[in-house]
Structure 1
Amino acid sequence: MIQWAPYAFVRLTLALAAGILTYLYYGTSLPPLTGLVIGLSILYAGLQLWAGRKASPALLDGLGLLALGVVYLVGLALTQQATESRAPNHLLRFGNRIEFYRAVVDDYTVIRPATYASTVRVSAVRVAGKWQAAVGSIRVSIPRDSGSTVPQYGDVWLVRGAPAPSKAPLNPGEFDYRRYLQYHQVYHQQFIHPDQYLKLGVDVPSQWTALGMRAARVLDGVFRQYVHAKREYALASALVLGIKDDVDQETRQAYANTGTTHIMAVSGLQVGLLFAAVTWLLSLLPGRRGPLFRFGTAGLGLAVIWSYALLTGLSASVLRAAVMFTFIIVGRASGRQSNIFNTLALAAFALLCYNPFLLVDVGFQLSFLAVLSIVYLQPRIVARLRVREFFLDQQRPWQPKAVQKFWKASSWFGDVVWQATALSLAAQVATLPLSLHYFHQFPLSFLASNLIAVPISSAAVYVGLALLVVKGLVAVVALALPAAGAWLNWLPQAIGFVFEWMIWFFNEYIFWVGQAMPGALLKEIHLSASQTWLLFASIMALLIFFEVRHLTWLGVVCALAGVLAGSKVWAARQLADDRKLVVYSIPRRSVLGFWQGPAGDIVMADSLPLSETERTYRIVPGSIQREARRVLYFQGWPQAPVPARRLGQSTLLVWHGLRVLLIDGRLAAARQPSRADIIILRRNARVWPEQLAAAFGTAAPVVFDSSCKAWYVARQDSILRAAGFRTYDVTMRGAFIVAPRR
């Protein structure tokens, strides 16, 4: 007989997640499922009532499997309903026929060096002179110049022009931003000039969200006032409020390299600290008995936690923590307790019913896996070493009292350090496969980083919250008694000084760890989705082996590890003889990649070095995907290992028999036809179809690289196509990739 207790919601959540994943991979062509779900639910309820309590074990097992099947279908149906692109009046149905559209700013505005970025929610479009209702969201960017203002949540816009569907990744291995947006129900992007839109008014989509944004801006102003150093202010706002706009790239990279990025993101850590503080404060109140006190304190705790969650933008990790602590608080208030696994599963179930696409949110996945791993593994890791008992055993009756106190203090300190070490190790076990899959790196210095940074940052959260509370109280006093308020201002100043010092200390510590252990970061690791599942399965089998101590499971671990290693060897063998020429899509740049197996030569045809951002986001993902062992960068052709010959304002390359002509000016008159397998036009090259046809014929494809202007590509593309040429624009269609003939 299937034993549902004590992990009933674990099974239900897994079934719901399986339904969501099935839809994401295979469900786009399914018919509407709502009717089927309702019918099976009624069937299950009827069978449950008919069976009663005297049903046979076999029947109860069958009903349990039917319940899981219904939940699985619920996951499919919920994801289907949440997929906005299925609506008949979605923006995708109108294509580029949209003349104007009306929309409201429906998200936080991200302030970038050159643009403002936000998301607008469309309510109506004008097509062929007629307005009609429409749905859909657009990720918009607006240039930061004198003619534009920061978009505010709730601003209603009238925008001229049709948005473009989100672009697919432009280079090999590049982050799929289109899929990321689609998981957030955003299918279009648009760069809007200041003269292209008009603000019509304000219509706030959610008063609660607007309230949270306004409060966050006010509280951010407090940190800006009392935390004077720019770097420390940016980290203070990120640590307490989740506002990371001012965190510079160097700081982000330092935290990523040491495995402490979670400190900069408001997550379950901050919500847990707030929950602990509220619980401790309530425990100090007298008369802690009776249902009135229990429900009153529960309501206060819920109000504090959800107010903080609203202030920090309701990210997936914050939502997970807020929902989980909500169930804990309600359970305590009602006198019912549940094991932590059921509580976590119930939190995940509720969140996935609210938004099924949270399942593919990286923060959601890492957050739940880390907590599950900590809850299960930390006690088992701690039990391996009896640190406290070891130090206490060193005490002897004849020792001086100072020595005995030393051993007692050492036992407490050693136990705290070992508990923190076990927590970090446990969190890394479950999140390792996802970290390798998504971020392609693993910091071996995570223990050294977290042992110091996490306690200090946790204390800093309390100090930061205290600064906000004290500043609020001083402001209230100042309203009634201005002189007293001015005198009391030394309190937030003192707390702000301590807060800034603490942030400076652990910030410096993180940078020091990165510099002291430069080789501790394993980088450019590639795991495919199937290999990630294999690594998860290997870890699960290993944990089962340690739990049941049966050699069969150790054999399963070895078999899974062998399959994983074999898949890596097979992929390397398949790639060994693979040759690819890549014309990269990098704005305003001319960059070619010559790949042979795991080795690559990247040549900047414009002789300008790539910026760190261009290299990191455009080139490195493809090299990780190929598991490259050697990648060299060359500025111009003289230093490059590819044979190149200058022909007037053109360059002829011959690479493994592939003849590539780069034209960056006028094409010299050809005395006789020559052969070119690929023709690349750079920097708005001044060529005409008849010249190209006379010199090389029309068989070779003509590629516009990213240094060509949009107006030039639009003009030349139509002319060349009319003359019988095949054309390719890397700016719009992504990198041009071709393999030499063998």
Structure 2
Amino acid sequence: MIRWAPYAFVRLTLALAAGILTYLYIGDALPDLRGALLALAGLFLGAQIWATQSKSLGLTNLAGLLALLTIYSAGITLAQQSTESRRADHLYHFGSRIEFYRGVVDDYTVVRPNTYATTVRVSAVRVNGHWQPATGGIRVSIPRQEGQAEVTAPQYGDVWLVRGAPAPSKPPLNPGEFDYRRYLAFHQVYHQQFIHPDQYRKLATQPPSHLRAISMRTARVLDDVFRQYVHEKREYALASALVLGIKDDVDQDTKQAYANTGTTHIMAVSGLQVGLLFGAVMWVLSKIPGRRGPFFRFLTAALGLAVIWTYAFVTGLSASVLRAAVMFSFIIVARVTGRQSTMYNTLAVAAFCLLCYDPYLLADVGFQLSFLAVLSIVYVQPRIVAWLDVKGYFLDQQRPWQPRFVQKLWKWTSWSMDNIWQATALSLAAQVATFPLGLFYFHQFPLSFLASNLVAVPISSGAVYVGLVLLSLKGLVAAIGLFAPALTTLLDYGPRFVAWVFELMIWLFNEYIFLIGRAMPGALISGIHVTAPQAWLIFGVILALLTFFAARRLVWLGLACALMGVFAGNKVWAAHDLKTDERLIIYSIPRRSVCGFWQGASADIVAVDSLPLSETERTYRIVPGIIAREAQRVQYHTGWRETVVPAVRCAPDSGLVLTAWRGVTVAFVSQKLSPAHQPRSVSVVVLRRNARVKAADLATVFGKDARIVFDSSCRSWYVQRLTPELQQLGMQTYDVTASGFFTVQPRT
């Protein structure tokens, strides 16, 4: 039986989260609940006053139930009111009628190989020649190079006047692909637009938050320090990511190596770095003599808060650092005021406040991983540590007759091995609660996480300290240089030496990560598909097992086994449904012609344009669908050669290829149809590479019942020109670039 009395805020936070989850899943079907919330709040106050006066246990329980119901309704209402698309002046209501809009750059600028990407918050739009207030976020991309001149990167606070109407964010264009539209919606961004340099003009600089603007500039100045002193490009990129959270220059191979070994969190400035700073402050203060009394407690709290929030400021006030800073701030305040009854309540208060500020944080992967990892560490790590008394074992090896050196060696060994065991327990504990999320979001599980973290985390933690020392020392040298410029060159040897140590440490832990990847190539279990209900089932199994070990009651073990049975049954049922599923898919891959022939868990992917798919195209366009179907055999083909699908080219130089698969006939047309082409009955006609064909010829050769599909190699102007002509003839058309993949199932 769970005793909720010591965990008052835990149940309130769970009720709030349940309300937010309800809105995320079925929010569109719910009416405005502000009136219902006020009514529930009034009922709760009345029941609470009545229960207090009558001192009735039944009324007290009723008041508690009403409190939870009120908080649950508050969660739904908060999520409703935080959803910008519900507002009457949102961009959604203007559609394509927008001629111009005015907005401000309200996010970091992501530097990509060919584009800059950022978010613009709209303040006004011009419709039919009249300006009117508007709200909404637009994810914009602009080319980095226009002609020979480099386009200036957008800066936070830039006010733009933009010509043209933004388009609603696109849904996933291929099976299983990452739902970027949903991700943007959780950040209150519902539109996207590619803007050419001649489409926008910078009007002014008016940052939405001057504090954040100064913070972001500070982060860039500190990044220039690393750029100056860390000479190797790879080490500089990791240094900036590790200490400042700027990952613009981290190459894809490095990102993949860290993902494969379960150490991606090292490159994300969040709870690890904030915790290291807090631990350093506590260690320094512990060396001060006479550290007792309320004054010292408040001094410790003040210094801890100052260090944490200063670090959050110099790293650009990013969302991950702010989340960690809020969490540690509540822990510090709870300790100094003596209000920390349990760590669970303290974490619940932090989560409750963050969710009240932004309910959509509940859908943020970083938020979920951070709080689940900390909760798991708080509960599970002490229990894992208790399995082995490592320190006591080595101390028991001491004997009175042993030399003093040997006794000190045993003592040092006990200390070091105990720290290693503590770190091992921490890493294992963090994986317990985050395991289902890793499968659900990343579709993989690195078995090498323990070997990677035991070495990489201590080295990278030391590198964080050394990197901060480098920044502090450089700041000191710069300050002295203002008054004594002649000393700058001499004093600069200090930052150079620290930078050399810093770069060496980064090189060491980076080489270790790559070494683990090479030494344990089979340690990464990838291609795991877990649906949201299946992830909830795994969470249920973990909670039931933890409760069983704590309560020692077989009913909880039985529940865990039952949930595992449901999970296995769900997987078997999904595999049974998939076994008989057959379909032809025309993929949506920019400027490519690619189709897939799927039979159950096997597939043949054909690059019709005879150019092999790049690794990026496979990873982001094809592989998600493979994972979703848990495919066992997938073969890639360049052109029609060596495919199991029969394909006939009507003539050596003809732009017409006919295929027949499982009763589905498809014609791929890439050139003008000649009079020699005889009428043929096909299910689908795929137009490629802006084929110079006439609508009437298509209707004559293939019939008006054939579905016309424009694949991704066709340009938008071509689709817009030919579509009306085809529709006038009564033919159905489909554009995979605009609407996503096209699929055909064989007739049974």
Q: Structure 2-normalised TM-score?
A: 0.97
CA distance in 1, matches of 2:453, 2:446: 11
TM-superposed deviation, 1:265? 0.2
Q: Deviations over 1:370-409 (max 9, x none)?
A: 1111110011001011111222222333334443333222
Aligned 8 A contact 1:316 1:364 in 2 = no
Shift of 1:672: 4.4
Structure 1: distance between partners of 2:294 and 2:421 = 39
Structure 1 residues 620 and 378, CA, compared in 2 at 3 Å: closer, same or farther? same
Question: Mind listing any 5+ residue stretches in structure 2 that lack a counterpart?
Answer: none
Letter in 2 for 1:692: L
For the 8 Å contact 1:137–1:187, the answer to whether it is kept is: yes
* Aligned counterpart in structure 1 of residue 716 of structure 2, from 710, 715, 724: 710
Question: 1:737 is matched by which residue type in structure 2?
Answer: T
* Partners of 1:394 and 1:407 within 8 A in 2: yes
Deviation at residue 670 of structure 1 after TM alignment:
4.9
Separation (CA, whole Å) in 1 of partners of 2:624 and 2:558: 35
Q: 1:227 to 1:393 in 2, by over 3 A?
A: same
Structure-2 residue corresponding to 1:528: 531
Structure 2 CA distance, aligned partners of 1:734 and 1:421? 46
Q: Does 1:433 align with 2:424?
A: no
2:734 corresponds, among 704, 728, 733, to 728
Deviation at 1:59, TM superposition (A): 1.5
State the identity as a percent.
Answer: 68
Matched, 1:412 2:415: yes
Moved more, 320-329 or 198-207: 320-329
1:596 Cα offset (Å): 0.3
Counterpart mapping for 1:512-591 below 5 A: 512-591=515-594
Q: Alpha-carbon deviation of 1:332?
A: 3.1
Q: Contact conserved, 2:331 with 2:347, CA < 8 A, in 1? A: no
Residues 556-580 of structure 1, C-alpha deviation per residue, up to 9 Å, x if partnerless?
1111111111111111111111101
For 1:376, the equivalent position in structure 2 comes to 379
* Equivalent in the alignment of 2:72: 72
Shift of the 401–130 alpha-carbon distance from structure 1 to 2, 3 Å rule, reads: same
Cα distance in 2 for partners of 1:338, 1:316 equals: 28
Q: 1:661 aligns to what?
A: 667
TM-fit CA distance, 1:211: 1.1
Instruction: State the Cα distance separating 1:726 from its structure 2 match.
Output: 0.4
Q: Tell me the equivalent position of 1:166.
A: 169
Determine the C-alpha separation between the residues in 2 that align with 1:658 and 1:29: 39
Distance (whole Å) between structure 2 residues aligned to residue 176 and residue 614 of structure 1: 16
Task: Specify the code of the residue in structure 1 equivalent to 2:497.
Answer: A
Q: Who is 1:303 aligned against? A: 306
SS in 2 for 1:243: coil
State the one-letter code of the partner of 2:174: N
SS of 1:7's equivalent?
helix
Cα distance in 1 between the residues matched to 2:474 and 2:269: 21
User: Is the contact made by 1:2 and 1:61 (CA closer than 8 Å) also made in structure 2?
Assistant: no
Provide Cα deviations, 1:598-618, integer angstroms capped at 9, x if missing partner. 001100011111111100000
Inter-partner Cα distance in structure 2 for 1:109 and 1:708: 30
Q: Distance in 1 between the 2:508 and 2:293 partners?
A: 45
- Using the alignment, how far apart are the partners of 1:427 and 1:293 within structure 2? 32
Q: Could you tell which deviates more after superposition, 388-397 or 445-454?
A: 388-397
1:47 matched to 2:53? The reply is no
Q: 1:287–1:389: structure 2 CA closer, same or farther, 3 Å change rule?
A: closer
Whether contact under 8 Å (2:51, 2:63) holds in the other structure is no
Alignment of 1:597-636 (within 5 A): 597-636=600-639
Q: Specify the alignment match of 1:102 in structure 2.
A: 102
Q: CA RMSD in A?
A: 1.6
The one-letter amino acid paired with 1:723 is L
Q: Secondary structure at the match of 2:5?
A: coil
Residues 472-522 of structure 1, C-alpha deviations (whole Å, 9 max, x = no match): 111111111112233211111111110000000000000000010000000
Q: Distance in 2 between matches of 1:252 and 1:695?
A: 51
Structure-2 residue corresponding to 1:192: 195
Instruction: Report the 3-state secondary structure (helix = DSSP H, G, I; strand = E; otherwise coil) of the residue aligned with 1:6.
Output: helix
How far did 1:3 drift? 5.1
In structure 1, the residue corresponding to 2:605 is in which secondary structure? strand
Question: What's 1:253 paired with?
Answer: 256
> What's the counterpart of residue 478 of structure 1?
481
Query: What TM-score results when the alignment is normalised by the length of structure 1?
Result: 0.98
The alignment status of 1:341 with 2:322, answered yes or no, reads no
Query: Partner amino acid for 2:595?
Result: L
Distance in structure 2 (CA, Å) of the matches to 1:157 and 1:336: 48
SS in 1 for 2:596: strand
Q: Distance in 1 between matches of 2:546 and 2:206?
A: 53
SS of residue matched to 2:675? coil
Question: Partner letter of residue 458 of structure 1?
Answer: S
- SS of the residue 1:64 aligns to: helix
Distance 1:671 1:710 in 2: 27
Judged with a 3 Å threshold, the aligned counterparts in structure 2 of structure 1 residues 307 and 205 are, in CA distance, closer, same or farther, namely: same
Contact 1:320 1:368 in 2 (8 A): no
Mapped contact 1:583–1:591 kept (Cα < 8 A): yes
Question: How far 1:48 sits from its partner (Å)?
Answer: 2.2
Q: 1:152 to 1:684 in 2, by over 3 A?
A: same
Paired residues of 2:212 and 2:317 also in contact (CA < 8 A): no
Q: Which moved more, 1:26-35 or 1:208-217?
A: 26-35
Q: Secondary structure, in 3 states, of the residue corresponding to 1:435?
A: helix
Mapped pair 1:27 → 2:27 = yes
Q: Distance in 1 between matches of 2:711 and 2:484?
A: 67
Does the alignment pair 1:128 with 2:158?
no
**Which of 476, 496, 506 pairs up with 2:499?**
496
Q: CA deviation at 1:56?
A: 1.7
Structure 1: runs of 5 or more not aligned: none
* Matching residue's letter, 2:124: A
Indicate the residue corresponding to 1:5 in structure 2: 5
Tell me if 1:93 matches 2:93. yes
Q: Give runs of aligned pairs for residues 251-400 of structure 1, distance below 5 A.
A: 251-285=254-288, 288=291, 291=294, 294-400=297-403
1:384 counterpart SS class:
coil
**Cα distance in 1 between the residues matched to 2:561 and 2:298:** 52
State the alpha-carbon separation in 1 of the partners of residues 72 and 579 from structure 2.
43
Q: Deviations over 1:656-692 (max 9, x none)?
A: 1111100111223256432111100011111112212
Distance 2:43 2:521 in 1: 62
CA–CA separation in structure 1 for the residues paired with 2:418 and 2:292: 34
**How far apart, CA to CA, are the structure 2 residues paired with 1:556 and 1:4?**
21
After alignment, is 601-610 or 145-154 more displaced?
A: 145-154
Residue of structure 2 equivalent to 1:699? 705
- In 2 relative to 1, CA 295–383 (structure 1 residues): closer, same or farther, beyond 3 Å? closer
Structure 1 residues 586 and 671: CA distance shift in structure 2, 3 A: closer
Residues matched between the structures, number? 742
- Give secondary structure in 1 for the equivalent of 2:649: strand
Cα pair distance change 1:393/1:326, threshold 3 Å: same
Tell me, in whole angstroms, the C-alpha distance in 1 between the residues paired with 2:644 and 2:501. Answer: 57
Alpha-carbon separation, structure 1, partners of 2:401 and 2:205: 78
Residue 81 in 1 paired to residue 69 in 2?
Answer: no
Superposed CA offset, 1:189-221 (max 9, x none): 000000000111111100111011011011101
CA contact under 8 A between 1:645 and 1:652: conserved in structure 2?
yes
Aligned-pair distance for 1:302? 1.8
Amino acid at match of 2:710: F
Q: Is the 8 A contact 1:216 1:311 kept in 2?
A: yes
Write the letter of the residue equivalent to 2:201: L
Aligned mate of 1:215, from 218, 221, 226? 218
Q: 373-382 vs 298-307, which deviates more?
A: 298-307
Tell me if structure 1 keeps the 8 A contact 2:47–2:62.
no
1:681, 1:218 → 2: CA distance? 51
Deviation at 1:294, TM superposition (A): 4.2
Q: Tell me the amino acid that sits aligned with residue 713 of structure 1.
A: V
3-state DSSP of counterpart to 1:168: coil
Q: 1:596 aligns with which of 580, 594, 599?
A: 599
The alpha-carbon distance between structure 1 residues 626 and 249, as it changes in their structure 2 partners (threshold 3 A), is same
